[in-house]
């Protein structure tokens, strides 16, 4: 994986248990549909710009000569950024104009049984039978299998700036060339029919702005419902990854959801997948790019605060604002830490997984931090001292009671950087008023201040130690 100009990526197909070889035809408009992703088979794509790129799937055992000739007739695309190619630019609820890092609302619907689905992976055209098929796998009917789809979409939304809305209507319009329309059909439409039976292809999926999915309803792979249907959830979550614009990532180590082979070693998106969704759609708090849209932390206590969730700076123009309050004077320490590690990462090229190159996801961006006053613009404290992969710390900023903002932003770099932050605070011990000082002066036994018995010597020493400013009458 190279940096600077972005990660070099190639849209690829989806496979599960067998060899998969993929190339994607060059499309006239790379901002629209990019082709569909097939699970568990060799595939290539015909150069047909009149419809979404069409995948041709080869059974295991197809000769190298036939496969290579097919690849020679297809064009690979260098689309950059963490196996992320074209993301959604238009959805039914957002409208158009969506770009890199923008949070996105995606609606989804179930294609009604009987809707004709063409043979996009070489299978015969056949009507969708998703509901009837899943009702045989899950005897409880939709109340048993719909939560599987809910869980898949909820999982993706946990890690990125994505909101999913189930669209209960689907008018059975032409598949897949019918854009989402509120009250009519979803942006992402899910169907099923016979593809190739057991093994080989499990499902395939179109890229944005189509995102539609076709599942092989004749494959007994899905009869394994153990671990809360982990096999189905990982396959369909992988497929929807393509539906968000993510292509395959190599090598196959069972550490990334978007590897070309399905795995039971984990549940849902993993670290590399989080980089892709955050690069494309921002983190779950987007848009918090201004103090007016800051993510509220609430009132801080001596217990401090650790942000528990996925946070990211997704490019050079992104910045994250957080708002907090303190009820009395405190010394506040803020620490922001990049999250990442070294691992092998590379593209799938011509259907073959590359060995990858060593990639450190911890040093994509040099983080910087600020504590801002209640106006959201006045910088009270800042830190930008360590460079990429280094934590930044503001130590014991002396803040009176009030509302403040945190700003996390890139000092350098134009990739995506996951990060976390925490706050710790210590109450300033002796904020005594002037009349307490007079009382203490006149009372050698000391006075009660914030639950402690303090003498004038205690208060003077606190001023010397910098714990409190000498009050004025």
Bridge partner list, 44:
56
Which helix (H) or strand (E) segment holds residue 357: the answer is strand 357-360
Tokens of 340: 């990442």
- The full DSSP string for 82-126 is TTB------BTTTBS---TT--EEEEEEEPPTT-EE--TTSSPPE
Query: 191 near 132, Cβ under 8 Å?
Result: no
Question: What pLDDT shows up at residue 72?
Answer: 38
Instruction: Give which of 75, 108, 106, 110 is closest to 89, Cα–Cα.
Output: 106
Which helix (H) or strand (E) segment holds residue 295: the answer is strand 295-299
Q: How far apart are CA 431 and CA 401, in angstroms?
A: 11
Question: What pLDDT shows up at residue 376?
Answer: 97
Cis peptide before 251 (omega within 30 of 0): yes
Per-residue confidence in pLDDT tens, the chain, 473 aa: 233 333 323 222 222 222 222 222 222 222 222 233 333 322 222 223 334 432 222 223 333 343 333 333 323 333 333 456 689 999 999 999 999 999 999 999 999 999 999 988 778 999 999 999 999 999 999 999 999 999 999 999 999 999 999 999 999 999 998 999 999 999 999 999 998 888 777 888 888 999 999 999 999 999 999 999 999 999 999 999 989 998 888 898 999 999 888 889 999 999 999 999 999 999 999 999 999 999 999 999 888 999 978 999 999 999 999 999 999 889 999 999 999 999 999 988 876 789 999 999 999 999 999 999 999 999 999 999 999 999 999 999 999 999 999 999 999 988 999 999 999 998 775 554 444 555 656 666 665 555 556 666 766 776 676 555 444 44
What's phi and psi for 193, nearest 5 deg? Answer: -165, 180
Sorted by sequence, the CB contacts under 8 Å of residue 303 that are 6+ apart come out as none
Query: 280 near 386, Cβ under 8 Å?
Result: no
Quote the longest CA-to-CA distance of the chain.
100
Question: What pLDDT shows up at residue 267?
Answer: 97
Bridge partner list, 315:
none
- The fold of 36-281 is Collagenase (Catalytic Domain) (3.40.390)
Tokens of 126: 């056949």
Question: What pLDDT shows up at residue 279?
Answer: 95
Q: How far apart are CA 253 and CA 466, in angstroms?
A: 55
Query: 44 near 120, Cβ under 8 Å?
Result: no
Query: 93 near 102, Cβ under 8 Å?
Result: no
| SS3 state at 252 | coil
Cα atoms in the 13 Å half-sphere on the side-chain side of 169:
8
Q: Give residue limits of the domains in the chain.
A: 36-281, 291-341+359-427, 434-464
Architecture of the domain made up of 291-341+359-427: Sandwich (2.60)
Burial class (CB in 10 A: 0-12, 13-18, 19+), 190: buried
Tokens of 166: 């189930």
Question: What pLDDT shows up at residue 84?
Answer: 63
Sorted by sequence, the CB contacts under 8 Å of residue 428 that are 6+ apart come out as 328, 329, 330, 331, 398, 467, 468
**pTM of the shown model:** 0.79
């Amino acid at each position: 994986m190279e940096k600077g100009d972005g990660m070099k990526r190639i849209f690829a197909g989806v496979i599960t248990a067998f060899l998969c070889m993929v190339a994607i035809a060059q499309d006239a408009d790379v901002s629209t549909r990019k082709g569909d992703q097939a699970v568990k088979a060799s595939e290539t794509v015909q150069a047909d710009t009149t419809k979404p790129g069409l995948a041709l799937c080869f059974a295991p055992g197809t000769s190298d000569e036939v496969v290579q000739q097919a690849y020679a007739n297809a064009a690979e695309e260098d689309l950059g950024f963490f196996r992320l190619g074209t993301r959604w630019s238009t959805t039914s609820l957002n409208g158009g104009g969506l770009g890199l890092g923008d949070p996105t609302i995606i609606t989804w619907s179930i294609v009604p049984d009987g809707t004709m689905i063409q043979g996009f992976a070489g299978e015969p055209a056949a009507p969708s039978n998703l509901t009837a098929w899943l009702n045989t796998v899950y005897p409880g009917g939709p109340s048993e299998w719909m939560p599987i789809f809910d869980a898949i979409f909820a999982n993706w939304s946990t890690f990125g700036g994505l909101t999913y809305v189930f669209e209960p209507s689907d008018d059975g319009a032409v598949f897949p060339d019918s854009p989402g329309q509120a009250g009519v059909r979803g942006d992402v439409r899910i169907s099923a029919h016979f593809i190739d039976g057991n093994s080989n292809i499990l499902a395939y999926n179109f890229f944005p702005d189509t995102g539609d999915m076709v599942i092989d309803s004749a494959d007994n792979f899905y009869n394994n419902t153990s671990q809360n249907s982990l096999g189905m959830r990982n396959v369909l979550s992988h497929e929807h990854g393509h539906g968000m614009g993510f292509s395959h990532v190599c090598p196959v180590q069972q550490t990334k959801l978007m590897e070309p082979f399905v795995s039971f070693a984990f549940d849902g998106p993993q670290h590399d997948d989080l980089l892709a969704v955050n690069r494309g759609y921002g983190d779950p708090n987007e848009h918090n790019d201004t103090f007016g849209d800051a993510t509220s932390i609430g009132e801080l206590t001596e217990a401090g605060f650790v942000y528990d969730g996925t946070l990211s700076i997704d490019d050079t123009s992104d910045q994250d604002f957080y708002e907090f309050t303190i009820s009395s004077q405190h010394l506040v320490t803020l620490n922001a830490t990049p999250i990442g590690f070294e691992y092998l990462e590379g593209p799938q090229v011509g259907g073959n997984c590359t060995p990858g190159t060593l990639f450190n996801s911890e040093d994509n961006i040099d983080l910087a931090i600020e504590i801002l006053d209640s106006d959201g613009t006045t910088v009270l404290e800042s830190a930008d001292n360590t460079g990429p992969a280094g934590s930044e710390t503001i130590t014991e900023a002396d803040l009176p009671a009030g509302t403040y903002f945190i700003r996390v932003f890139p000092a350098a770099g134009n990739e995506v950087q996951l990060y976390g932050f925490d706050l710790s605070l210590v109450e300033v011990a002796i904020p005594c008023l002037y009349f307490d000082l007079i009382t203490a002066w006149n009372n050698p036994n000391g006075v009660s201040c914030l639950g402690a018995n303090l003498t004038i010597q205690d208060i003077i020493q606190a001023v010397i130690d910098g714990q409190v400013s000498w009050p004025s009458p």
